[in-house]
């Protein structure tokens, strides 16, 4: 096992979990800053060439976990590994953000869904070779179809 350590922290407009958009149709368009610690500066070399980044972060204010639960986007229970619930055995999260610009150690991004001060564990460029028509969205697509048929 490894002991994760933050490479930086998120500056976000969200101060508490209830402010983060959730559920079907939630739009994640909020802007924020990924503030990277100085010792990781060299790791940002050439990051400006990517339009989107995958941010690996910690649900640092989440306590405990549940193996099943009902997400805000459906009225049916699902396994935690089929959801984005913060109540996970390992409180790790992923978010894809749009990189707007870099200013030194600060990455200005759009699409944050993290709370202000959230520890960042890693950043990776978004790369996908999976064509959109081959992607499946599981129960979420079913919940959206039920909502749209009403």
Task: Write the burial class of residue 117 (CB in 10 Å: 0-12 exposed, 13-18 middle, 19+ buried).
Answer: middle
Class of domain 8-65+87-129 as given by CATH:
mainly beta
The more confident residue out of 112 and 143 is 112
Q: Are 48 and 99 in contact (CB under 8 A)?
A: yes
Q: Phi and psi (nearest 5°) for 107?
A: -100, 115
pTM for this entry: 0.87
pLDDT of residue 3: 93
- Over the stretch 90-121, which tens digit does the pLDDT of each residue have? 999 999 999 999 999 999 999 999 999 999 99
- Measure the CA–CA gap between 82 and 78, rounded to whole angstroms: 6
4-33 per-position pLDDT tens digit: 999 999 999 999 998 998 877 788 899 999
Task: Say which residues have a Cβ less than 8 Å from residue 35's Cβ, sequence separation at least 6.
Answer: 8, 9, 10, 11, 105, 106
Q: Which two tokens stand for residue 148?
A: 């749209």
């Amino acid at each position: 096992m490894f002991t994760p350590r933050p490479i930086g922290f998120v500056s976000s407009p969200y101060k508490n979990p209830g402010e983060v958009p959730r559920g079907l149709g939630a739009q994640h368009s909020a802007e924020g800053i990924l503030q990277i610690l100085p010792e990781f500066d060299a790791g940002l070399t050439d990051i400006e060439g990517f339009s989107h980044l995958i941010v690996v972060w910690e649900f640092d204010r989440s306590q405990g976990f549940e193996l099943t639960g009902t997400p805000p986007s459906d009225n049916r229970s699902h396994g935690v590994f089929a959801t984005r619930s913060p109540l996970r055995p390992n409180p790790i999260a992923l978010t894809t953000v749009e990189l707007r610009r870099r200013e030194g150690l600060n990455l200005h991004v759009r699409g944050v869904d993290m709370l202000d001060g959230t520890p960042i564990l890693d950043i990776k460029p978004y790369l996908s070779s999976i064509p959109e028509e081959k992607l499946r969205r599981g129960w979420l697509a079913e919940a959206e179809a039920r909502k749209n048929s009403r």
